[in-house]
Amino acid sequence: MSISFNIVYVVILVCEVAFWVLLFSGFAVRYLIGRKKLSAYMLVSVPLVDLLLLVFVAMDLTQGASATFAHGLACAYIGFTVAFGPTLISWADQWFAQKFGGVDSQADEVFGWSAVIEELKLWFRCILAVVITYALLVLIVGFVNDASKTEALHIWFKMPLFTIFFWFLFGPFWRIIFFKRAPKI
Question: Domain map of the chain by residue range?
Answer: 7-177
Task: Note whether 67 and 139 are within 8 A (CB).
Answer: no
Task: Note whether 31 and 55 are within 8 A (CB).
Answer: no
pLDDT of 3 reads 42
* Beta-carbon count within 10 A of 157 CB: 14
Q: Is the pLDDT of residue 48 over 50?
A: yes
pTM of the model: 0.84
